[in-house]
């Protein structure tokens, strides 16, 4: 593949072999990076012919089939995967965020989470410990939305004005309904609203508990609604529209029952 790099006894070179050959061709300290690193980690498809490699000195010349990035890398920026030197998942995601759209970056973060490479909370913390570089800003913006959390009092302060704008009266809060403690409850409408912390990846146990709660409420003829706390914070208009539509339907149903 490159001058000074040879394959012995192999008629064809695998993709991993090509990545390793690219690193060897670029000399000591070279690592697979950017979208090639993302492909090596399994968090993004990369079908371009040129392999992206990062080096820590300016002495390297460009080589056919290899795209060389000259940059400063710390010991926390690289590791090995499948015995191939490569940028860490955190470093790789930062590099991706510098060139990809928010949607594609989010997909890569999701895939890294699913593969247990790094979870969003740990990734967000790592950004605060990383020297400024391209990609940190957009990745931090994405993660601040996705890992956003509020205390209950903060959530209540933000949610209640939205509910009022939607035409709902003051709810009861932190009440036990059908054996479960709920965030907001309108007894006359039999309406329950839960506001959940938003995460990329919730455990199956958490999901099962949420389904059980909602099923119990529905079986008792209550209307359960769920909003993420990030929706309450960042998408109040959406929350208001949904609340208003559901409230209108429930008020209409209540009026029909009283009239019959």
pLDDT tens column, 221-257:
999 999 987 888 889 999 999 999 999 999 998 877 7
Asked if 149 and 137 touch (Cβ cutoff 8 Å), the reply is: no
Distance CA 244, CA 164 (A): 9
pLDDT tens column, 192-205:
999 876 544 456 67
Mean pLDDT for all residues in the chain: 85
**What is the number of other CB atoms lying within 10 angstroms of the CB of residue 203?**
9
- Ranges assigned E (strand) in the chain: 31-32, 51-55, 66-70, 78-81, 84-87, 172-177, 180-186, 191-196, 223-228
Distance CA 260, CA 245 (A): 23
pLDDT of residue 154 exceeding 80, the answer is no
Asked if 40 and 34 touch (Cβ cutoff 8 Å), the reply is: no
Start-end of H helices in the chain: 15-25, 34-41, 89-97, 102-114, 120-128, 136-146, 152-165, 204-219, 229-234, 236-259
Q: Tell me the pairing of strands 172-177 and 84-87.
A: unpaired
pLDDT-above-90 percentage for the chain = 49
Domains and CATH numbers, the chain: 15-146 (no CATH), 152-259 (3.40.960.10)
Say what the pTM is: 0.63
pLDDT tens column, 72-107:
888 889 999 999 999 999 999 999 999 999 889 988
pLDDT for residue 58: 62
pLDDT for residue 103: 85
Mean predicted confidence (pLDDT) in 149-177: 86
């Amino acid at each position: 593949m490159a001058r000074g790099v040879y394959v012995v006894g192999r008629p064809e070179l695998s993709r991993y072999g090509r990545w390793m050959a690219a690193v060897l061709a670029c000399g000591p300290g070279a690592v697979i990076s950017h979208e090639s690193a993302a492909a090596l980690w399994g968090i993004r498809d990369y079908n371009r012919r040129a392999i992206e490699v990062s080096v820590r000195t300016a002495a390297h010349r460009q080589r056919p089939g290899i795209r060389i990035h000259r940059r400063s890398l710390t010991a926390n920026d690289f590791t090995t995967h499948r015995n191939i030197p490569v940028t860490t998942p955190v470093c790789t995601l930062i590099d991706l965020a510098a060139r990809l759209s928010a949607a594609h970056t989010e997909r890569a973060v999701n895939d890294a989470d699913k593969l247990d490479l790094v979870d969003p909370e740990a990734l967000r913390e790592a950004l605060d410990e990383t020297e400024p570089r391209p990609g940190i800003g957009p990745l931090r913006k994405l993660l601040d939305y996705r890992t956003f959390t509020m205390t209950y009092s903060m959530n209540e302060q933000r949610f209640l004005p939205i509910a009022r704008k939607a035409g709902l009266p003051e709810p009861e809060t932190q009440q036990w309904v059908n054996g479960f403690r709920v965030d907001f409850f309108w007894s006359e409408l039999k309406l329950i609203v839960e506001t959940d912390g938003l995460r990329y990846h919730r455990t199956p146990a958490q999901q099962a508990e949420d389904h059980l709660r909602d099923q119990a409420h529905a079986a008792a003829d209550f209307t359960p609604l769920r909003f993420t706390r990030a929706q309450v914070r960042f998408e109040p208009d959406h929350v208001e529209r949904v609340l208003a539509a559901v409230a209108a339907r429930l008020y209409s149903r209540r009026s029909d029952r009283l009239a019959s």
